[in-house]
């Protein structure tokens, strides 16, 4: 029985990595518009190419190792205003920068990592970019595959297949999966770590609690080094979803849950503060003034959250936006639209069918969760019933992960509606589709047993 289960999960893992990698690297399944896929967040990715050029020119840790935008002329370029793909051209043409504008909002670990790979890989610049995209696509596919396998091991094969299908057909995941700047895999790493840590260690003892805290510190710290503080509240919320699930399945008492939650919060904060200390040192190495580091970090935080528009006029529109209006943007956005899939363009499908918006998805999944919570099934064990309830509550809790960013980082969300829909896949839609798969399986199982 165990060998059969292992074989099924092995096949599922191979299938998942293959399907996701092909989508991430080349948009093979044509889920996203090809122009969108090829050009999405090129502006952000330019910062990585700028870092590669400077690393090749002056070393990996020049300009504090920070990512940035360079210019072959002495005039520094702005992060918000530079020629399209200018950094790509500089990298491909083996250009030399005469000025460089560092990006002070994150450590830039992904830039240092690719700079290291750039030095050790012997190939043309064009080939190296393809290799970097393949590496990032594989890491993203591998990370999401681990999530699929966790659902298979914990909930069952059919729910895992539903989750995988939602990943493969998510245009927001597809356009982000290979991006060198965003490093999609790093956002999920803390949640994946907690998923498998708690599956192996049930947190029933204080010794496990200490190990749990250290583990969380490490995961959050690495995430902050790789792609900074983007979606940090969502990342933390994602990480706590499996904790909620296992707290219910393992019948942890309220005191133990509170203690573990406080441990997770304190260790996460310590990891963030340590990474901010490193970022501060990087900024000081460039600007030479300790106070400038504090001001840069504070400015980065304020312009993304709820600062007064009069104090930061450049971001006045997004700072003046109401939180309700921002949430409205993201609940009314399209999950996907079948008519936009190029491979289905020859079929006539009603424009009103499959035009799925996120508020539809949220309402539907909450309804399924409520059905599972209040439906008394006759043909399940107490253990299975507790697992079903835990998944339903975990799914409802997971809504807080994307909402935390939309509310706390309201200004960023208003200004980045072309990006932040990805947050619904962190991890609400995964758990929602797992609930859908579980419900379908439960209905057919109950019918068969009757």
> What pLDDT digit, counting tens, does each position of 57-98 carry?
999 999 999 999 999 999 999 887 888 889 999 999 999 999
Q: Per-residue pLDDT averaged across 173-190, rounded?
A: 97
Phi-psi region of 193 (alpha: psi -120 to 50; beta: other; left: phi over 0): alpha
State the pairing for strand pair 334-337/68-71.
Answer: unpaired
Residue indicated by tokens 């963030």: 272
pLDDT: which is higher, 104 or 2: 104
- CA distances (Å), 165 to each of 96, 335, 363, 433, in order? 45, 13, 20, 9
Q: Hey, where are the domains in the chain?
A: 2-30+130-449, 42-122
Local structure of residue 78 (DSSP, 8 states): B
Q: Per-residue pLDDT averaged across 400-416, rounded?
A: 97
Mean residue pLDDT across the chain: 92
Neighbours of 278 (CB within 10 A): 16
Question: Rounded distance, CA 228 to CA 49, Å?
Answer: 17
> What pLDDT digit, counting tens, does each position of 285-330 carry?
999 989 999 999 999 999 999 999 999 998 999 999 999 999 999 9
Nearest to 164 by CA among 12, 270, 323: 12
For 366, phi then psi, to 5°, come to -65, -40
- CA distances (Å), 224 to each of 105, 190, 193, 248, 322, in order? 11, 11, 15, 29, 28
Question: Rounded distance, CA 44 to CA 22, Å?
Answer: 22
Q: Cβ distance 87 to 50 under 8 Å? A: yes
Q: Cβ distance 153 to 9 under 8 Å? A: yes
pLDDT category at 375 given cuts 50, 70, 90 is confident
Question: Rounded distance, CA 46 to CA 36, Å?
Answer: 16
Question: Rounded distance, CA 43 to CA 33, Å?
Answer: 18
Nearest to 307 by CA among 315, 382, 60, 357: 315
Question: Rounded distance, CA 398 to CA 234, Å?
Answer: 9
98-112, 287-301, 334-348, 408-422: range with lowest mean pLDDT? 334-348
Nearest to 297 by CA among 246, 345, 228: 228
Question: Rounded distance, CA 270 to CA 272, Å?
Answer: 5
Residue 317, SS3 per DSSP: helix
CA atoms in the 13 A half-sphere facing the CB of 214: 6
Q: How far apart are the first and last CA of the chain?
A: 25
Q: What's this model's pTM, rounded to 2 decimal places?
A: 0.94
Q: What is the pLDDT of residue 6?
A: 85
Quote the tokens at residue 397: 């809790």
Question: Rounded distance, CA 104 to CA 67, Å?
Answer: 8
């Amino acid at each position: 029985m165990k060998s059969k289960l292992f074989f099924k999960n092995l096949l599922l893992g191979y299938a998942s990595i293959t399907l996701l990698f092909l989508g991430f690297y080349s948009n093979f399944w044509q889920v996203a518009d090809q122009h969108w896929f090829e050009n999405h967040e090129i502006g952000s990715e330019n910062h990585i190419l700028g870092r590669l050029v400077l690393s090749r020119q002056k070393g990996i840790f020049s300009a504090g190792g920070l990512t940035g935008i360079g210019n072959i002329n002495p005039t520094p370029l702005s992060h918000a205003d530079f020629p399209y793909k200018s950094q790509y051209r500089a990298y491909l043409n083996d250009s030399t920068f005469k000025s460089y504008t560092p990006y002070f909002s994150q450590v830039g670990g992904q830039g240092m990592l690719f700079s290291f790979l750039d030095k050790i890989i012997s190939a043309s610049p064009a080939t190296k970019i393809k290799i970097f995209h393949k590496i990032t696509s594989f890491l993203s596919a591998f990370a999401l595959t681990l999530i699929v396998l966790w659902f298979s091991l914990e909930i069952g094969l059919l729910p895992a297949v539903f989750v995988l299908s939602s990943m493969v057909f998510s245009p927001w995941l597809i356009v982000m999966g290979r991006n060198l700047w965003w490093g999609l895999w790093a956002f999920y790493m803390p949640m994946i770590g907690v998923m498998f840590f708690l599956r192996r260690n049930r947190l029933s003892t204080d010794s496990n609690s200490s190990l749990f805290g250290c583990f969380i510190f490490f995961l959050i710290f690495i995430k902050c080094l790789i792609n900074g503080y983007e979606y940090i509240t969502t990342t933390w919320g994602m990480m706590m979803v499996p904790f909620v699930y296992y707290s219910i399945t393992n019948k942890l008492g309220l005191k133990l849950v509170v203690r573990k939650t406080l441990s997770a919060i304190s260790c996460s904060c310590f990891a963030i503060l340590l990474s901010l200390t490193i970022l501060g040192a990087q900024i000081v190495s460039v600007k030479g003034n300790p106070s400038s580091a504090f001001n840069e970090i504070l400015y980065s935080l304020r312009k993304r959250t709820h600062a007064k528009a009069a104090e930061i006029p450049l971001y006045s529109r997004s700072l003046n936006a109401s939180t309700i209006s921002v949430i409205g943007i993201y609940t009314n956005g399209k999950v996907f639209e079948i008519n936009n899939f190029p491979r289905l363009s020859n079929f006539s499908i009603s424009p009103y069918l499959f035009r799925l918006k996120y508020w539809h998805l949220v309402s539907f999944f909450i309804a399924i969760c409520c059905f599972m919570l209040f439906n008394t099934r006759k043909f399940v064990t107490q253990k299975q019933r507790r697992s079903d309830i835990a998944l339903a509550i975990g799914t409802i809790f997971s809504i807080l992960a994307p909402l935390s960013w939309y509310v706390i980082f309201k200004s960023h969300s208003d200004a980045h509606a072309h990006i932040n829909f990805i947050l619904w896949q962190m991890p609400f839609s995964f758990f929602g589709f797992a609930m859908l798969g579980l419900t379908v399986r439960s209905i057919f199982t109950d019918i068969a047993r009757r």
